[in-house]
Structure 1
């Protein structure tokens, strides 16, 4: 029978995702068949599995860390916020409705718990170890009765549980003690170790505090992880505010518009990984400045975010930038925004029924009730013909291109995936993961570099999947260096009665 390790945190952003991911890689390296699991995730970064199921992108990364393919069962509930206190509910990889926060418990709690337990049972048939990640804090007393993600899962699995605390925020010891005090006795008994994360400074200065904490709680501190600048994929848009921007004289500057409901910004991690590229997330109140390219990313609420672009003046600034020959591109919802208009006759996103686009591409988009979620392979016509790329689609819009308008061409052999103008300064695509393809990415970056008079980069480069493997190894090495893994391995090696 498979065993379970659970990672919970005293707060959001404590480091649960990093520890969970690193454990997946470390245990896989030990020879275990490992699956990640997060019962319920609230995020706008999503991935589509080979089976066509939508799941949190963070759990897909954890699956790759575990050296296995992402499965919808690894994240049975995904909530995608779309404003006005509402979220789209993805259950077992399928969009099943939209709910208000106040109605979620009544409408989806029982269905959600059934999806969680059945998904766990499915994973237990194939994997030896399930590494589960909690969400937020397990001790939110006003929410515990409806919490599907933390100690309810740990108790169901009788999981060996780690409690992670972010010491960089201050108050770490109080966070740990307070969290433990608010757990039920049977829940507290599952907590087998404490991990202190994001420590800066001299380690010996922490020793007396650790001795007190272990004595007071009776739970060992198994690791103190240093503050790290490893380029670990972010899970939500709050992390975008923390990304520094330090362009060098020969670096490309690429601005990504930080839409109010920005989605799938993990699309741009491959750009961030390039040493000669500086990516900047630009708020609607900011100026574009001197950029080599402007990107409109995906959005969970395309019409509302498009309206926000107009109201803030950013739409007009992007149009002026494009008129001066600047490079503008859009992905998914951003692609829809570059067209003439986006309509929503059935109110899929809310009350807005139509919003004018930026009119940079000759296309019209109508939102529909059915969401398209599928992996795709495509043969590129741009920027260099012949590259075969892979990615995935997640959208509810049906986009029609006005073929009577001259000087616009399909981006790929599959004409439904994107469009580019004759000058190759404006393009858009529905294909998420496009920048993951290393040679394609470099060819596009070289186009920008050529316009700046900069030297060209070699096209022989790894795809981002290989670069991501190196990042996952770095995360695992960090954990292995600073975490005592022996108690976890001893638990896994003990036979279940």
Structure 2
């Protein structure tokens, strides 16, 4: 069913999760923008704890925000009308059009949320279609999971609803690329198969000429053209799934300082750290519960979808004791959102927002490194912010809030503690005599503020006896644009979309 679209939508489907749909859809957005079109990214349903908050204070997956920037648009929750945020124990928070509407067990999700999810998707589409551009749709996982296909919100049901031209992406790095493609198409119904207008082979290593006979075979067996073969690209963007975190590699091989990051079991918003990964003066190292913390120059505790449960993991594995010992020895520590909450004295959860079962405790002890108490309320705080920061120096910074917990100082007068912002509830820091610091903030995206990030890094460098950084070679937003262009250059060089646009 075509609903009166001026431009036929393009949909990127994959033979599996991780086939490369997100980056290929991102590249298509920039490619069409270069051609004078207005691409509009859309993913009906996404499952991710890596989120963004739009200008109206609504949550959406970070990957659709990235695609929006690639298309030259301001991100909006309509681009990702259904977002599932895993909480653990097969339970997810359900977000519709940017607002939390409940939680669901995986086994009950399709029965309880299918109809309302489809309505949210149609509402999001109706708003986006007013922009009069071309929808660039991203599928999820595989489109032919036969046990789930009748309740699949975001693949072939959506493709048929919009009569989209679909591109099937297969990851040759995984092996079995011919079986991936043939098997996926074989499981499609005739009216679904006719929507597949092209195939892209992704993550190819070596000389593409070696695969020419493979291309011929695929086209003969499927009757569908191979649009191109994309080479293996370095991980230049934050991974969509936290399972891929250890695969994130730095281009930099020489560094002045080392930053350790706690890889929480339920880590969220790890894109907060992206500006640090591409900094040539920094070596990043992930620490998993149970591993040795070592002696980094600074430790970051990132956000968590389930702060109390992740704190329990740190306690059980002894990593929280390592963190406290590191603090006693004068180590620098900085927490973001859930990481900030863990550094406090207590975490109280009267409404079971951070608890999975009824046996969970109302009050939980924190690491007692900051004199704050956190209480998890019923209403989530979500908003973009531009605020005045007071430390390490005074300046305006931008970011966003996304949290249930509210933190307050406990006997703050007894500590030499600094409010990071004029709004004191957004974060605090303690500077010690040895010039080390322990602090944190609720402001996601704080490291994207180049001048603030430089001053923060210089605090660490100064203590280590290193010269201060006077400037960065390239600011974060310019670097992101450069990477989007590099991605699109590779796509344009290796893929021909003429047969599908």
TM over 0.5: yes
**Residues 60-75 of structure 1: pairs in structure 2 closer than 5 A:** 60-75=65-80
Match of 1:149? 154
Match of 1:36? 41
Q: Distance in 2 between matches of 1:243 and 1:230?
A: 6
Contact 2:254 2:281 in 1 (8 A): no
Q: Give, in angstroms, the shift of residue 355 of structure 1.
A: 2.0
Contact 1:165 1:195 in 2 (8 A): yes
Match of 2:339? 334
1:345-378 per-position Cα deviation (integer Å, ceiling 9, x unaligned): 1212323233211111000001111000001111
Q: Distance in 1 between matches of 2:70 and 2:253?
A: 32
Match of 2:402? 394
2:465 aligns with one of 444, 453, 459: 453
Is residue 465 of structure 1 aligned with residue 477 of structure 2? yes
Q: Give, in angstroms, the shift of residue 460 of structure 1.
A: 5.5
1:292 aligns with one of 290, 294, 297: 297
SS at match of 2:49: coil
SS at match of 2:9: strand
SS at match of 1:26: helix
**Residues 80-99 of structure 1: pairs in structure 2 closer than 5 A:** 80-99=85-104
Contact 1:245 1:280 in 2 (8 A): no
Further displaced range: 119-128 or 334-343: 119-128
Further displaced range: 25-34 or 188-197: 25-34
Match of 1:440? 452
SS at match of 1:421: strand
1:221 aligns with one of 226, 244, 260: 226
2:366 aligns with one of 357, 374, 380: 357
SS at match of 2:56: coil
1:385-423 per-position Cα deviation (integer Å, ceiling 9, x unaligned): x22100000000111112233200101122111000032
Is residue 158 of structure 1 aligned with residue 170 of structure 2? no
**Residues 464-483 of structure 1: pairs in structure 2 closer than 5 A:** 464-483=476-495
Contact 1:438 1:461 in 2 (8 A): no
Q: Flag structure 2 segments of 5+ consecutive residues without an equivalent.
A: none
Is residue 381 of structure 1 aligned with residue 386 of structure 2? no
Q: Give, in angstroms, the shift of residue 127 of structure 1.
A: 3.3
Q: Distance in 1 between matches of 2:108 and 2:283?
A: 42
Contact 2:304 2:310 in 1 (8 A): yes
Q: Give, in angstroms, the shift of residue 303 of structure 1.
A: 0.6
1:293-312 per-position Cα deviation (integer Å, ceiling 9, x unaligned): 11111000011001111111
Further displaced range: 459-468 or 12-21: 459-468
Change (3 A) 1:221 1:334: same
Count of residues paired in the alignment: 488
1:428-465 per-position Cα deviation (integer Å, ceiling 9, x unaligned): 10000000011111111111112222222223665422
Q: Give, in angstroms, the shift of residue 16 of structure 1.
A: 0.2
Change (3 A) 1:104 1:313: same
Is residue 411 of structure 1 aligned with residue 432 of structure 2? no
Match of 2:136? 131
Contact 2:252 2:279 in 1 (8 A): no
Q: Distance in 2 between matches of 1:245 and 1:69?
A: 28
Change (3 A) 1:246 1:133: closer
Q: Distance in 2 between matches of 1:461 and 1:294?
A: 24
Match of 1:193? 198
Is residue 323 of structure 1 aligned with residue 331 of structure 2? no
Change (3 A) 1:277 1:460: closer
1:466-495 per-position Cα deviation (integer Å, ceiling 9, x unaligned): 21111111111110010012223xx3xxxx
Contact 1:391 1:431 in 2 (8 A): yes
Contact 1:35 1:127 in 2 (8 A): no
Further displaced range: 226-235 or 459-468: 459-468
Is residue 261 of structure 1 aligned with residue 270 of structure 2? no
Q: Distance in 2 between matches of 1:275 and 1:245?
A: 9
SS at match of 2:60: strand
Q: Distance in 2 between matches of 1:58 and 1:97?
A: 22
Q: Distance in 2 between matches of 1:246 and 1:189?
A: 42
Q: Distance in 2 between matches of 1:240 and 1:292?
A: 21
Q: Distance in 1 between matches of 2:389 and 2:498?
A: 49
Q: Distance in 2 between matches of 1:427 and 1:394?
A: 18
Further displaced range: 306-315 or 419-428: 419-428
Q: Distance in 2 between matches of 1:214 and 1:105?
A: 36
SS at match of 1:125: helix
Q: Distance in 2 between matches of 1:428 and 1:168?
A: 40
Further displaced range: 168-177 or 30-39: 30-39
**Structure 2 length-normalised TM:** 0.95
